[in-house]
C-alpha cells in the first residue's frame, strides 16, 4: 500500500519539476503572465530562502532539514502504526514537496517559484510548496479527528 503514497510523492515531484522547467525556460526572471485575471498569475522568481524568503542563502540548513524531513516521511509511510489513508496521503504530499524543492536547492542553489494569487497579497510559491501545505493540513486533520480512533 505504501506504493500508492510513494506514487503520490512521485507525481508531486514530476509536476513540480515539470512546471519549474517550463517556467525557467519560457519566462524571463521577474516576468509575469496572467492566467485568470484577478485570480492567478505565473511570475518567475528565484527564492534562495524558505517561505517569505526567511533564512535567505542558508543552503546547509535547508539541506539538513530536507534530509531529516525525507527520512521522517519515509518512517511514517513504512510504520504500520500509522495506517490511516488521510495521514499517509498527507505524508506522501509532504514527501513529494520536500523532494521537489530539495532537487532545486541541490541543483540550482535556489528554488524556482511561480504561482501568484492575484486576489490576495501573498508570496509567490510553487507546486512543491502547495503539496507540503495540503499535506500538513491532511496530517492535522488526521491528528485532530482520527488519531484517537486509531489508537482504540
Catalytic hit among 16, 113, 148, 150 = 113
In three-state secondary structure terms, 142 is helix
Write out the E strands in 4-152.
32-36, 40-47, 111-117
Catalytic hit among 16, 104, 118, 129 = 129
Angle at 16 between CA 135 and CA 108, to 5 degrees: 115
**Residue 129 is a catalytic residue:** yes
Backbone angles phi, psi at 53, to 5 degrees: 60, 25
How many Cα atoms sit within 13 Å of 94 on the Cβ side?
26
Question: Which residues are known catalytic residues?
Answer: 113, 129
Amino acid at each position: 500500500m505504501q506504493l500508492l503514497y510513494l506514487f503520490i510523492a512521485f507525481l508531486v515531484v514530476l509536476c513540480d519539476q515539470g512546471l519549474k522547467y517550463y517556467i525557467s525556460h519560457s519566462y524571463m526572471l521577474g516576468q509575469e503572465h496572467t492566467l485568470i485575471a484577478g485570480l492567478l498569475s505565473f511570475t518567475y522568481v528565484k527564492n534562495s530562502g524558505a517561505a517569505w524568503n526567511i533564512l535567505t542563502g542558508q543552503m546547509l540548513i535547508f539541506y539538513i532539514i530536507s534530509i531529516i524531513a525525507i527520512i521522517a516521511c519515509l518512517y511514517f509511510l513504512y510504520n504500520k502504526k500509522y495506517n490511516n489513508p488521510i495521514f499517509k496521503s498527507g505524508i506522501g504530499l509532504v514527501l513529494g514537496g520536500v523532494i521537489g524543492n530539495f532537487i532545486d536547492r541541490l541543483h540550482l542553489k535556489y528554488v524556482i517559484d511561480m504561482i501568484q494569487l492575484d486576489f490576495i497579497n501573498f508570496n509567490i510559491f510553487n507546486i512543491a510548496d502547495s503539496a507540503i501545505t495540503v499535506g500538513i493540513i491532511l496530517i492535522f486533520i488526521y491528528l485532530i479527528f482520527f488519531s484517537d480512533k486509531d489508537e482504540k
